[in-house]
Amino acid sequence: MKAIILFGAPGSGKGTVAERIKAVTGYIHISTGDMLRAAVKNGTAVGREAEAYMKRGELVPDEVIIKLVEERLDKGGPEDLYMFDGFPRTVPQSELLEKSLGRRGGKVTHVLFLDTPRDVLLQRLTGRRTCRKCGWNCHIVNLPPKKSGICNLCGGELYQRPDDQEATIVNRLEVYNKQTESLIARYDRQKVLVKVNSNQKVDKLVEDIRQILK
Give the residue numbers marked as catalytic: 14, 89, 128, 161, 172
Q: Which of residues 35-94 bind ligand AP5 (CB under 6 A)?
A: 36, 53-54, 57-60, 65, 86-87, 89, 93
When CB distances to ligand AP5 are compared, the closest residue is 33
Q: Which of residues 148-187 bind ligand AP5 (CB under 6 A)?
A: 163, 172
Residue from 4, 7, 13, 106 in contact with ligand AP5 (CB under 6 A) = 13
Strands 193-197 and 107-115, how do they pair? parallel
Side chain identity at residue 150, one-letter code: I
Q: Report if residue 15 touches ligand AP5, rule: CB under 6 A.
A: yes
Judged by beta carbon, residue 1 or residue 96, the one nearer ligand AP5 is 96
Judged by beta carbon, residue 52 or residue 105, the one nearer ligand AP5 is 52
Judged by beta carbon, residue 78 or residue 111, the one nearer ligand AP5 is 111
Interface positions with ligand AP5 (CB under 6 A) = 8, 10-16, 32-33, 36, 53-54, 57-60, 65, 86-87, 89, 93, 124, 127-128, 137-139, 142-143, 163, 172, 198, 202, 205
